[in-house]
Structure formats: structure tokens, C-alpha cells
Amino acid sequence: IMKWLLLLSLVALSQCLVTKVPLQKRKSLRQNLKEHGLLEDFLKKHPYNPASKYFPSLGDQFATEPLTNYMDIEYCGTISIGTPAQDFTVLFDTGSSNLWVPSVYCSSAACSNHNRFNPSASSTYQATNQNVSIQYGTGSMTGILGYDTVQVGGLVDTNQIFGLSETEPGSFLYYSPFDGILGLAYPSISSSGATPVFDNMMSEGLVSQDLFSVYLSSDDQSGSFVMFGGIDSSYYSGNLNWIPLSAESYWQITLDSITMNGQAIACSSGCQAIIDTGTSLLAGPTTGISNIDYYIGASNGAPSSLQVSCSAMSSLPEIIFNINGNAFPVPASAYILNAQSSGSCSSGFEGLNLPTASGELWILGDIFIRLYYAVFDRANNQVGLAPVA
């Protein structure tokens, strides 16, 4: 009997997979626009409040999703949809919950230079009569919902609901390095109530643990990944610090304070923070950001960014994010961004124009995640962080 039980358990284990999806650091939208001489004009015509991702009332009546600091999103991976498989480059976004890709029904300019899903070419596609609308800072993606097989790494996620775009906003997605977005936050913030990909993976028993982890490489080389169902301890040092979520919507936690040289410079009475792979910078309330920019000597420079002396990088102290009793330092080499093409440096902090009743909210984007291996644990509603190795 023991022999058969062992055999059955091995069969069960073989069906529960761990898969690592490589992420590529692509040329950002900001870089693309700059190379085409369009950046300054674009920023004038498209005023944008990154807080609209987290507060739909700042957008319009539609649910609000991606793209905080949409200009610098760079980490993308490949998935496939349909039978036979149609490939798409997507942003794996822990700050949203929907999967959507461009479709052949879309005639917007942004769809013309990206991969488009063709439902009639897939034998496993199932149509619905449901619409989906997702608001961005510069317009909205509208489309329809359908079901099909989605392959993410080695995991085959059957009967997955996803959005097929019919219209896409203005010019910013035209220059984006990705086709669509795969949201990894909780179902509670999913537009049209569509089941998120990871929820479907869990319910289908595709992952050996109900968690996924993210490693973002700090250089321009490959090596970044999102791992579904597992943790690769070779990518971090020490132990994971587990932080309970304060809300099960975004991956939201409580910050104790933000300090420099032992003094609180923001979030002095505690505040909320969201760990978001779909945001490249560190974002927070404009008052707190202004305070930090003062301390690091940032001043107005190019459109939408504050200039910092590149030489200050070696002398400025760490900024410490204190979370759940532990210190998570961010050194100047991480929070000062070096634009090698122009030789100038800028602040890695960005202001959020928040609703007055919302309290203090900070977004810990890729600048932070590049320093800390991040585990997103759905089984226990917690985030694990450890310094990258």
C-alpha cells in the first residue's frame, strides 16, 4: 500500500509545476519617444497623474489599471494564447489584475505595430458577449472578453478569461515595448470581474505552491524572471522577511517610516505602500517626495524629471524604508538614475497627486524590487523580501 501511495504522490507532484518565465529589459517608452524627438511634445499633450492607477475616481468611470510611470516600464516576458499558440510580449504587473492583448478587431495605431490575437485562428477560443474597459492616464483600452488556453512558461492555463482590445489609447502604447499586460494582483480589483491568470493557475492546481516570486536584474543584461509556484533562494542572501498584507487588492503593506541618517523624512507616522512591478520608480505623496528631493539636491530639469548631480551619487546617504520592524535601505546608486546617453542624472522619485482622504500611499516600484527578491504569497496573504544576492 505504501508503495502505491508513494507512486500516487509522485504522480500528483509531477502535475504541480514550478515555472520560471524570463523577463527582458526592453527599451522604455520614454527612450523611444526621445529617440523620435517626440518626448517633450508628448508630455505637454498628455498630462498624467500616476495615482489614477490606484484611485479610479481620478481617471473616469472605468476601472483603472496600469501604467504608473508608463514611460519607463521595461521588464517584459513572453506568453502564448490559443491553439496553435500565438505569442505575445506582456508586462507582468503586480499592480493590476487583468490579462489583455491587442486583437485583430483593433484598428488603433497602437495595435498596428504589435502582435494581435486572432480568435478565428484558435481552435480552443470561446467568445463571450462581455465588454471590458480599462482606464489609463492617457485614455482607455476597450474590448471584449474571451476564453482560451494561455501558456505561461511551462504552465498550460486552460479556460482563461482575457481581454481582446478593440481600441487602444493614443500614441503611448504605439511606442510601448510590450503588446499587452498580465496582471498579478488580487481578483477584487479585476475589471469586469475577470478571473486573474494566477487565480486560474491555483484553482487548476498548476502550481506546487500558491505563490510567485520576482527577480529583476539591475543591469541591462538578461536574467530577470517571474517564477510561478516557487522561490529560488540562490538569488537572495539571508532570510526572507515576511510582511503581512494590509489589504488584499494590490500587494499592499504598511510602511513604518522612511528615514535618512536616522531622521524620518517621510511617512513619519506610518503609511501604506504597494509593491508594484508595473511601476519603475519610487512614488509617493508630493509633499513627501518634495522633502526627499530637497535632501538629495534634486531640481527641475528635463520634462517630468528632476535633475540630480551625478557626482552626488557617491556622497548621498541611503534612504531607509522601514517595514514591519526591518530596515530596507535604498542606496543613492539605486535612487539616482543615470541617463548614460545624455550624461545627466535624475531623481528616481515621482510624486502622486492623491485624493485628500486616502492618507499617505507609496509605490515601491522596480527601483526597490531590483534590490530585494520579492515573493508574493497568496496562500498566506503576505510578501517576502530579501536582499538580492
Annotated active-site positions, please? Answer: 93, 276
Distance CA 330, CA 197 (A): 31
What are the cell numbers at 364? 515601491
Distance CA 67, CA 51 (A): 10
Residues sharing a CB contact under 8 Å with residue 173, sequence separation 6 or more, in sequence order: 108, 110, 114, 141
- Please tell me the total number of residues recorded for the chain in this structure: 389
Beta bridge partners of 377: 211, 382
Other beta carbons less than 10 A from residue 241's beta carbon: 17
Distance CA 76, CA 90 (A): 5
Beta bridge partners of 260: 263
Residues sharing a CB contact under 8 Å with residue 169, sequence separation 6 or more, in sequence order: 108, 110, 136, 138, 139, 140, 141
Distance CA 87, CA 71 (A): 24
Q: Which of 362, 381, 366 is nearest to 93 (CA)?
A: 366
CA dihedral sign, ordered 296, 299, 302, 305 = positive
Give yes or no for a contact between 115 and 87, defined as CB atoms under 8 angstroms apart: yes
Residues sharing a CB contact under 8 Å with residue 119, sequence separation 6 or more, in sequence order: 82, 103, 104, 125, 127, 146, 148, 164
Other beta carbons less than 10 A from residue 43's beta carbon: 17
What are the cell numbers at 333? 546608486
Other beta carbons less than 10 A from residue 389's beta carbon: 12
Distance CA 99, CA 96 (A): 9
What are the cell numbers at 218? 539591475
Q: Which of 87, 331, 92 is nearest to 215 (CA)?
A: 92
Q: What is the CA radius of gyration of the chain?
A: 21
